[in-house]
Structure 1
Amino acid sequence: MPDVAQNRGVAISLFSGAGGLDRGAEDAGFTVMAAVEHNHDAADTMEKNFSHLQSPVIRSSILKVTSQQILKAAGLRPGQRPELLIGGPPCTPFSKSGFWLDWKREGLDENASLLQEYTRVLTETRPRYFLLENVYALTYKNNASRPSFERLLREIDSAGYHFSYEVLNAADYGVPQARPRLFIVGAPKDEPKPVLPAASHGGSWERRQSGNSEKPHVTAGDALKDLVTEPEPTEAVGGRYGHLLPEIPPGENYLHYTAERGHSDPLFKWRSRYWSFLLKLAPNKPSPTIQAQPGPYVGPFHWENRRLRVPEIKRLFTFPDDFELVGSRNSIQAQLGNSVPPLLAKKVAEAMIVDSRS
């Protein structure tokens, strides 16, 4: 458990994953005492890094877990409520790629009900504060309507909470990764309304070089400069396109091999692939969003023309170097790629509490 200046009370965690939100909440002063996570590798990761959990991680679908079980796991007696509820319900039905499917766009994917499981636990456990994270595509409008998002907000309101929400980019809060995510924070209506933090970082690398006083984004180079790592067996990029990486400049992608970019032997048509195809990190910029399940040619790749190593991905998410992840390499990639950067989670939790108690 990280050292904190103030113990703000018990937190319970839903859809915990590897614990990015949890680590951030603890860095902000809470103590996560109960967690629900059905993926066994992620649950093992939680137990490895949160040894103070009151009970083992509840390894079950939230659909089968009662609020009473969660409160008991946290060591709370009848009538006691947690100080904080955190969670990021799985976002598959709201991903940018899935949004365009009509049945998902209307909120009919059965996994969308996981949002309702969060509001169920919110209603039944009555925490003093809540923090919910999700993909920003949840807020996309279809014919001026956002059915799943609007239903979620109605349920939060019906539970007796007022709230603030905003899409925050992790890079604007000191995380060396450009990662936009939706955050909703709230408190009971008879308490002050929580707010989300103002951006702490911005400005370009060029401004930093010119001596501008604005706090710049933390770059991938900043994050990795002193990190010593061992090679990984699967880091080489082979196959049909792997040999193309060395010619691509840092920060660029497959578009380097197009006529529009002046390549003498164009291999791709303009905008014929996803932006992340053969995308390389630039040491003077934050990393692009790191995905949970990237394809064989989906970046970001290291500027040394290889896949990122686990310690490097941890740095780009702001997990501590000694944070241990359990599972296969693919499982670890998924756990990290689905995580909330702990530093961003910490700043959200701190702003929520400080502003609501001032």
Structure 2
Amino acid sequence: MFWPQDESLQDISPPQPGSYVQPVEDRPIGIDLFAGAGGLSLGFEQAGFDIAACVEIDPIHCATHEYNFPYSASICASVTDLTGSEIRRRAGIGKRDIDVVFGGAPCQGFSMIGKRALDDPRNQLVSHYVRLVTELRPKYCVFENVKGLTVGKHVQFLKELISSLEAAGYRVALPYRVLNAADYGVPQNRHRLFLLAARRDQTPPGYPAPNAKKTNVAEAISDLPDADQFDRLLHCDATSVDWETHSEYARRLRGLADDPANFGYAREFDARLLTSSLRTLHTQDSKKRFLETPAGETEPVSRFFKLASDGQCNTLRAGTDSARGAFTSPRPIHPELPRVITVREAARLHSYPDWFRFHVTKWHGFRQIGNSVPPLLARAVASEIIRALGLCPEKPTKPLTSGNPSLLSFTMKQAAAHFGVSPSVVGQRTRTTPEADND
């Protein structure tokens, strides 16, 4: 049950930026090379790392990362244009030994006729990942990608990646693994390839063992207030409301229960804020079809999957970029309500805490989630690196204040200007302000 409050958010607006603490100096440091909004970054922070720097080419996503990780150096650039020395300089870490470099390089093509796979221009991001690992010389590196790299002709691509890392002085933990996020506490079936490697003077890492208990959809989202009950959410992505939360999973994400395995920074956040909840308007016919669709099946007209309360979510995807029409990803149907899920509900199903904010538009918000590694899965992997380092992480005592909220509502032009880059660096989206759309 929930109780709507005065819709003015003035009394619970986020603190002004500038009061956050600096990272604890004796925490190990990591660098995220393809950061997006920060799923991998958050998982590594929760395992006990400070994120010294993130690299992200998309100014919108880089601004979202800056909001959520105000202590991290946000480098809005392509890895193709950076050197290890430049990353060190902008991160302000000098010659300090980097503990881990991690990232999921987009693989655009696998044409291997007459050439090495890593030499294919469409796979240049992976080549630059290896180059930056070589230049930065971290103790460990983590490569994350789609499970499709492990089958068919794509295996050759992986073999060349492993050979390149070994030639750079790293021992790859073999066999590499495809991990399902649902096996690590995430209420979503999502399979991702992970490849871990250690510098030759370091202890080899292992891969995380699955958790015994799985989290279901109801545990993740059943407590959230129905966005359709708030007119404010037709034109704004946040409102103030009190509600009760009972599942341990949701209570941890709301900051209402302790998570003993989370060694990340607490954020100053008011649990009455329901964020990332801009509404989607459906026709009456659509609502009727959604209600009549059995849980766990696909609605035949929209082709949307209807979630089952006692099961796991299907894989949340990012949708298409502007070059392919800028379509929002197919969002699952809520298990109990005649509508698709909100960005916040998707975030819960991806294991993001409620303090973590996304861009105010649904298109960017869903892309940021669908393109990211679930933080709990990232944490499980990162914890293996912590273990190999021989560290016993401690949770910082002082909370962080998140960044300036304006970072979350930037247009592409505004975000590009903020980082001093061209707004044409990535494809753009016409709609840049929050508004409900129709189906």
How many pairs are equivalent?
315
Q: Partner residue of 1:222?
A: 219
> What is the CA-CA distance between 1:300 and the residue it aligns to?
2.1
> What is the CA-CA distance between 1:246 and the residue it aligns to?
2.4
> What is the CA-CA distance between 1:229 and the residue it aligns to?
4.7
- 2:97 aligned with 1:64, yes or no? no
Q: 1:12–1:74: 8 Å Cα contact kept in structure 2? A: no
Q: Partner residue of 2:67?
A: 48
> What is the CA-CA distance between 1:35 and the residue it aligns to?
1.1
- Say if 1:38 and 1:327 are closer, same or farther in 2 by CA, change over 3 A: farther
> What is the CA-CA distance between 1:323 and the residue it aligns to?
0.7
Question: What do the CA deviations read for 1:113-153 (whole angstroms, capped 9, x no partner)?
Answer: 111111111111010111221111111213xx623222111
Structure 2 portions without partners, runs of 5+: 1-19, 235-278, 321-326, 392-439
Question: What do the CA deviations read for 1:63-99 (whole angstroms, capped 9, x no partner)?
Answer: 1111111111221224x331111111124447xxxx9
Structure 1 portions without partners, runs of 5+: 202-214, 258-266, 268-275
1:261-272 equivalent positions in 2, closer than 5 A: none
Q: Partner residue of 2:309?
A: 283
Q: 2:198–2:204: 8 Å Cα contact kept in structure 1? A: yes
The alignment-based identity, stated in percent, is 35
- Say if 1:297 and 1:182 are closer, same or farther in 2 by CA, change over 3 A: closer
Q: Which of 329, 343, 353 is 1:310 aligned to?
A: 343
User: How far apart, CA to CA, are the structure 2 residues paired with 1:43 and 1:239?
Assistant: 38
* Higher normalized contact order (CA 8 Å, seq sep 6+, divided by chain length): 2
- Say if 1:297 and 1:25 are closer, same or farther in 2 by CA, change over 3 A: closer
> What is the CA-CA distance between 1:170 and the residue it aligns to?
0.2
The 3-state SS of whatever aligns with 1:308 is coil
Partner AA of 2:76 in structure 1 = R
Partner AA of 2:44 in structure 1 = A
- Say if 1:140 and 1:102 are closer, same or farther in 2 by CA, change over 3 A: farther
> What is the CA-CA distance between 1:240 and the residue it aligns to?
9.4
Q: Normalising to structure 1: TM-score of the pair?
A: 0.79
> What is the CA-CA distance between 1:244 and the residue it aligns to?
3.2
User: How far apart, CA to CA, are the structure 2 residues paired with 1:11 and 1:192?
Assistant: 17
The 3-state SS of whatever aligns with 2:75 is coil
Question: What do the CA deviations read for 1:137-182 (whole angstroms, capped 9, x no partner)?
Answer: 111213xx62322211111111111122200000001001110001
Moved more, 24-33 or 239-248: 239-248
Q: 1:236–1:307: 8 Å Cα contact kept in structure 2? A: no
Q: Partner residue of 1:149?
A: 158
Q: Which of 4, 14, 25 is 2:44 aligned to?
A: 25
1:1-358 equivalent positions in 2, closer than 5 A: 8-53=27-72, 55=73, 57-78=74-95, 80-93=96-109, 110-142=121-153, 146-164=155-173, 165-201=176-212, 215=213, 217-231=214-228, 233=234, 235-237=280-282, 244-254=289-299, 277-293=303-319, 298-303=330-335, 304-355=337-388, 357=390
Partner AA of 1:27 in structure 2 = Q
Q: 2:217–2:308: 8 Å Cα contact kept in structure 1? A: yes
Task: Provide the alpha-carbon RMSD of the alignment.
Answer: 3.2
Question: What do the CA deviations read for 1:168-209 (whole angstroms, capped 9, x no partner)?
Answer: 0000010011100011111112322111100013xxxxxxxx
Q: 1:7–1:31: 8 Å Cα contact kept in structure 2? A: no
The 3-state SS of whatever aligns with 2:51 is strand
Question: What do the CA deviations read for 1:38-74 (whole angstroms, capped 9, x no partner)?
Answer: 1111111111011112x3x111111111111111122
The 3-state SS of whatever aligns with 1:354 is helix
User: How far apart, CA to CA, are the structure 1 residues paired with 2:370 and 2:80?
Assistant: 24
Q: 1:6–1:29: 8 Å Cα contact kept in structure 2? A: no
